[in-house]
Structure 1
Amino acid sequence: MEYRFVHHWNYALGEDEHRILESAISLTTQPRDESFLQQAADFIAAYTQVQYVLIGSLSIDGNYVITNVFLKNGEQQPNITYPLQYTPCDAVMTQRFCYYPNNVQRYFPHDMELQELNIESYLGSIFLSEDSEPVGLIALMSDKQIENAAFAEHLVLVLSPAIEEELIQQHKS
């Protein structure tokens, strides 16, 4: 899998951010098991301070997301399946990355879950197969603006190759 560049931001990493990214890389190089996606989501939640982290696979027809991990305030939630249509996740599928710093509900008025969860800010990125086909996505959501979205994107993209490998592996099983 390839690393994708952080392309939306002009910022310099601080010392703490470098340390966190080194820890993220270390997480990806350790032997992995079925708990890796949970570990990655926990790691992202801890260092981005977002309210929700969702890692999901695409359904066979590509019209739904089936969550592999769904966290609220760092706590595991029951996995869900939801349609992509009319959601910011659908925009992720076409744009590969989306960030809505505030008022995301205004852009997706048909997405009732955004309203129910009181989501204000959304950051999402796509996961691709070796053939560059979409296999899943990650969404970071919060009821307030994501504090350091540039770093959050950087962290997600550093972990993306390992998450992609796990999603592909799970899809094959």
Structure 2
Amino acid sequence: MEYRFVHHWNYALREDEHRILESAISLTSQPRSKAFLQQAAEFIATHGHIQYLVIGKLSDDGRHVITNVFLKNGKALPSITYPLEFTPCDSVLTQRFCYYPNNVQDHFPLDLELQELNIESYLGSIFVDEEGDPVGLIALMSDKPLENAAFVEHLVLVLSPAIEEELIQERNLPA
């Protein structure tokens, strides 16, 4: 497979990107409401120029993702549940982070949603609990190469601990 670990790239943040990351840190330090996951997703989508963004939790059997947030061009879409098998999200669970800069459909020909959405590039990262077990993931997708994947990875990494906390807290709520 041809995926890249973006965090191995040598990347120096621009001044405006430093300000955006400071805003991301500020977002995580504010009191959180139920809307935090939506706010974090919108922040990443806006500042990363992301076409599609998913933040989702794993199903009890670990074979599906249930979206907490699903955005298209910054607009919320209805929550969906989708199987992990044959998707780049399944690779995220084993690799913890992966990036397909282009032709992601070629690597996952059985993922019909990638074809339907005409997805060209994919960046995904896992969320884990205190024991290191996966609780969810984030997937960023576009019908063209991501504008600045290294910066987008920085955004995801800065917001990941707070997103993880929210997913863990949601998982621990009584049914």
TM-score (norm 1): 0.96
Measured after TM superposition, the shift of residue 8 of structure 1 is 2.4
Q: Where has structure 1 moved over 3 Å in runs of 4 or more?
A: none
User: Partner letter of residue 145 of structure 1?
Assistant: P
Question: Aligned equivalents of 2:135 and 2:104: distance in 1?
Answer: 24
Specify the alignment match of 1:165 in structure 2.
Answer: 165
Q: Number of residue pairs matched? A: 168
Specify the alignment match of 1:132 in structure 2.
Answer: 132
Question: Aligned equivalents of 1:74 and 1:164: distance in 2?
Answer: 21
User: Partner letter of residue 166 of structure 2?
Assistant: E
Specify the alignment match of 2:3 in structure 1.
Answer: none
Does structure 1 conserve the Cα–Cα contact (< 8 Å) formed by 2:44 and 2:156?
yes
Specify the alignment match of 2:109 in structure 1.
Answer: 109
Q: Quote the sequence identity (%).
A: 76
Measured after TM superposition, the shift of residue 7 of structure 1 is 2.6
Specify the alignment match of 1:3 in structure 2.
Answer: none
Measured after TM superposition, the shift of residue 50 of structure 1 is 1.2
1:88-141 per-residue CA deviation (whole Å, 9 max, x = no partner) reads: 000000000010000000000000000000000000000000110000000000
Structure 2: unaligned runs, 5 residues or longer: 1-5
Specify the alignment match of 2:33 in structure 1.
Answer: 33
Question: Aligned equivalents of 1:97 and 1:54: distance in 2?
Answer: 14
Secondary structure of the corresponding residue to residue 89 of structure 2: helix
Does structure 2 conserve the Cα–Cα contact (< 8 Å) formed by 1:8 and 1:150?
no
Structure 1: unaligned runs, 5 residues or longer: 1-5
User: Partner letter of residue 50 of structure 2?
Assistant: V
Specify the alignment match of 1:144 in structure 2.
Answer: 144
Does structure 1 conserve the Cα–Cα contact (< 8 Å) formed by 2:7 and 2:153?
no
Does structure 2 conserve the Cα–Cα contact (< 8 Å) formed by 1:54 and 1:67?
yes
Question: Aligned equivalents of 2:44 and 2:162: distance in 1?
Answer: 13
Does structure 1 conserve the Cα–Cα contact (< 8 Å) formed by 2:7 and 2:150?
no
TM-score (norm 2): 0.95
Measured after TM superposition, the shift of residue 82 of structure 1 is 0.3
Q: How large is the Cα RMSD of the aligned pairs?
A: 0.7
